[in-house]
Amino acid sequence: MTAKQTFINYLAPADIKVNGSRPWDIQVYNPKFYTRVLAGGSLALGESYIDGWWDCRALDQFFYRLLKARLDTKVKDWKQIFHVIKAKILNLQSKSRAYEVGKRHYDIGNDLYKNMLDKRMVYSCGYWKDAKTLDKAQEAKLDLICKKLKLKKGMKVLDIGCGWGSLAKYAAEKYKVKVVGVTVSKEQVKLARELCKGLPIEIRLQDYRKINEQFDRIVSVGMFEHVGYKNYKTYVKVVNRCLKPNRLFLLHTIGRNTSSTTADPWISKYIFPNSVLPSAKQIAAASERMLVLEDWYSFGPDYDKTLMAWHNNFVKNWHKLNYDQRFYRMWKYYLLACAGSFRARSTQVWQVVFSKNGVKEGYRSIR
């Protein structure tokens, strides 16, 4: 059987055709594509797309069908096995590597994120329950977090992975709290300090492991994905050390359905170096004996909508940006592949509320 026919057979359970006419069908332009992907798996699939060897009118629909049919579990290559072995031997998210994702992803240009995100520059899943626009969805998410944390005037809040300060600014303005935000991105620090000027907010370029002071509330949104499975317990120890007794911690993170030690090889190489998504089991295990689980909320489908909105902004504002065509294809692939993943429910979004020592009167879930 030829490599082409093998690949065609591989896609058949997902009802994806090669050179078909539907939006999710792929168009192959280089005959070497088939052997390259069969040998190189997901990494080769993404790299060959960047190289222009194939295309698809609706990448999000392509990945939705591929992942819904669980075809991602059918092809494994030696490079993926190497990533697993490497992750087990090394601590890819050690202190010495902590700032790598900041340099390679978040520092690539604030202009990109200004033109892709909402007006508050929130780089995490929006909350679309009652929202019709990206701006409203992100504002609703920020307010949901503040309400879940039961913020009160004068509280001191730690935001681990504060981004461009969107949550810190919202909480300080709307709930009159003081905020310390930490990030590993120099560009985020620069812009966050500018956006939060005049408010009781301190933005630091700091690894979470170096924080050693007490707070009334701790929150972390879209940062736990960079912690790494070898450091989950260390992360929770930091939260436990810095959280005052009987206070609340909210963890907002993307999650996997199964436990793993590595991320997708293409995502690791081109988008988020040294990242890995946690499973519910890994989060629960890391928090044992230190924190009390009060509430767990899953709303992964909302990230599909968020990513599609980011993609629309990215395409609409592309002419304002100074990046090359390869970056355009890489970023489209990233946004739409992730949208398809959330649509297929291969990945999730969780907001988990913990307390230190438990909430005496009980915690009431807020949706």
- Is the CB of residue 216 less than 8 Å from the CB of residue 153? no
Q: Which fold has domain 98-355?
A: Rossmann fold (3.40.50)
Whole-model pTM?
Answer: 0.91
pLDDT above 70: percentage of residues in the chain: 92
Average pLDDT of the residues in 56-70: 96
Q: Where are the domains of the chain?
A: 3-76, 98-355
DSSP, collapsed to helix, strand or coil, labels residue 353 as strand
- Report pLDDT for 94: 45
How many whole angstroms separate alpha carbon 154 and alpha carbon 176? Answer: 6
Phi, psi (degrees; rounded to nearest 5) at 217: -145, 150
> What is residue 98's predicted lDDT score, i.e. its pLDDT?
53
Report the interhelical angle of 33-50 vs 325-343 (nearest 10°): 110
* Edge-first strand listing for the sheet containing 178-183: 201-205, 178-183, 156-160, 215-221, 243-256, 347-355, 292-298
- Reply yes or no on whether 242 is catalytic: no
Q: Decide: 275 and 338 in contact? Cβ < 8 Å.
A: no
Nearest to 46 by CA among 364, 340, 348, 358: 340
How crowded is residue 264: how many other Cβ atoms within 10 Å of its Cβ?
A: 24
pLDDT band for position 106 (cuts 50, 70, 90): confident
Write the pLDDT tens digit of every residue in 256-278: 999 988 888 899 899 988 889 99
| pLDDT reported for residue 360 | 83
| Marked catalytic residue, from 125, 146, 196, 338 | 338
| Residue 192: alpha-carbon gap to chain centroid | 19
Residue 339 banded pLDDT, cuts 50, 70, 90: very high
pLDDT digits (tens, 9 = 90+) for 116-162: 999 999 999 999 999 999 999 999 999 999 999 999 999 999 999 99
Contact between 195 and 189 (Cβ < 8 Å): no
Q: What is the mean pLDDT of residues 300-318?
A: 98
pLDDT at 81 over 50: no
Compute how many other C-beta atoms are within 10 angstroms of the C-beta atom of residue 230.
Answer: 16
Does residue 76 have a pLDDT over 70? no
CA 157, CA 162: separation in Å to the nearest integer? 11
Give pLDDT, residue 260: 87
Residues in the chain: 367
Q: Cα(111)–Cα(241) distance, rounded to whole angstroms?
A: 37
Poorest-confidence range of 135-139, 281-285, 354-358? 354-358
- Tell me, what's the pLDDT at 99? 60
Q: Does 241 score more than 70 pLDDT? A: yes
